Amino acid sequence: MKKRVIMSIGIALVVTLTIASLAMARGGGLQQFGHGERAQLRSQDCPVISSLTEEQQQELLQTTREHRDWMYPRKQQMVARQAELNALLATEGADPAKIEQTKKELAQLNQEVFERKLNHKIEMSQKYNIKTRMQGPARGGKRFSESGRSFRQDCPRIVR
């Protein structure tokens, strides 16, 4: 009797974990589309994007694609440099000059990414009147802006 209960609980646990992992791997419903189609689908819900002309929307999508294409390799380099730095710090007798060089490369990449992201947000704000939300500790965990409007009303996710 005891074996049967333990066995059924184990099988139920395995089935639950399998279903959960498959559901997580599939992702959201809009992930089957590319960036352009996903952005166009989101623009239907966003009054800021839908108020732009078709030409401005296409220009916005192109600018966003270019920004993502520039950012992705830099972020991959940052991950690689961070892993390299972690490996150097984990090994005994690592060369301090190599650690310092990797640290400087990581800091330089981080600075480039930050400046590019900030310039992109400024351009979106000035050119298309898209207000992007702040991220990280500066945001303070607030879900609404000072005006009382939710972030969804300004549709910032289109510029990510």
Domain assignment present for 2: no
Domain assignment present for 107: yes
Give the number of domains in the chain: 1
Tokens read off for 153: 């009303």
Q: Which domain holds residue 78?
A: 34-130+144-159
Which amino acid is present at 146?
E
Domain assignment present for 6: no
pLDDT in tens, 54-109: 888 888 888 889 999 999 999 999 999 999 999 999 999 889 999 999 999 999 99
**Rg, C-alpha atoms of the chain:** 23
List the CATH number of the domain containing 87: 1.20.120.1490
Domain assignment present for 135: no
Domain assignment present for 65: yes
Domain assignment present for 19: no
Nearest 5°: phi and psi at 129?
Answer: 60, 40
Domain assignment present for 125: yes
Q: What is the pTM of this model?
A: 0.54
Domain assignment present for 137: no
